[in-house]
Amino acid sequence: MSAEISSNVINVARIEGVDLFCGVGGLSCGLAAEGVRVVAGIDVDPACQYPYEANHEGAKFLLRDIATVSGEELNALWSPGVVRLLAGCAPCQPFSSYANTATVDKAKWRLLREFARLVDESQPDLVTMENVPRLQQAQPFKVFLRALKRGGYQVAYAVVNAADYGTPQQRKRLVLVASRLGPVAVPEPTHKGPENWVTVRQAVGHLKKLKDGQSCKSDPLHLASALSELNRARIRASKPGGTWRDWPDHLVAACHQRESGKHSAGVYGRMEWDKPAPTMTTLCNGYGNGRFGHPEQHRGISLREAAIFQSFPETYRFTRQNDKVVIKTVGRLIGNAVPPKLGEAVARALYASVPAVSGDTAAVGG
């Protein structure tokens, strides 16, 4: 059935979610926007606590390694009689394109095993996971799938582009949804194809102009990293959508002049106004770390722009008022986040697997 309320149904079941590896709350933000009551976020990083609590009133933040969390503790977080959702994005470094999967420490795979353990111990009605595309070829993911199917879940997963869901960014992610309540499907795109994608101009074209090293008085997160004199010259020579190959020879880095570096064109680039941004990484605030130059202004993107490209609301708080913004820390938190718009799509897909009810809650959890 559709997650939309039909004329003969008073409402759909109330879903309560627990967000594992919650970070600053990107997935929680998207789930909540579609009506999921997120009751708790769990993460081992203390830098996530303030932004999570500041933006998710009523949700608990548990500063814990999930290996120390039990299914019994999770069950105590959910209210009686609700549809229980266990969500999460296990840190993806072992499976990223930058990792050598032949030599990666297999102990890092424990996070996905712990996720599977908590599913088994708490028996939620719904499960969702978001991660990097390469995970689907890894053995830990296959083990995770088998555990879900043994638990009676119907499962769907696919690699999707966050731009197809209204995120102003090209970001390929593996999305999994699972339900014990009914058939489930990967969320349908809302902005399918380049003609419907949200562009850099639409997302951040209204923000105040900045110079490198400058911040906005009304929004401390609208802060651009300072550039060296060399990089100021380089960005002035950069074209939107271009590469360092557009520069005069004296600006080209020595590593790019060597034969081994001539094919590395994905750094020191400017974005294009009328296309989505490239994938936000944990170093997205640095002009030399990718195609993270502003399309027009001679600087790298600001932290606020990066957060908007991840589809966070413009008012999302990452630091306490009057606290100094630590660029490296906040950039890492933003780059690691699940885009809220993708979380919204996941919520709609999960609601579609839940049978409609006529009361305020569904008596399927507990």
| Active site members | 92
- One-letter amino acid identity for 253? A
Q: Which token pair is 181?
A: 């309540």
CA–CA distance from 280 to each of 271, 305, 325 (Å)? 12, 10, 19
CA–CA distance from 163 to each of 27, 167, 196 (Å)? 16, 5, 9
Say how far apart CA 233 and CA 248 lie, in whole Å. Answer: 10
Say how far apart CA 170 and CA 348 lie, in whole Å. Answer: 21
Say how far apart CA 241 and CA 92 lie, in whole Å. Answer: 28
Say how far apart CA 100 and CA 188 lie, in whole Å. Answer: 33
Say how far apart CA 217 and CA 27 lie, in whole Å. Answer: 29
CA–CA distance from 131 to each of 134, 231, 297, 338 (Å)? 8, 33, 33, 9
Q: Which token pair is 172?
A: 């390929």
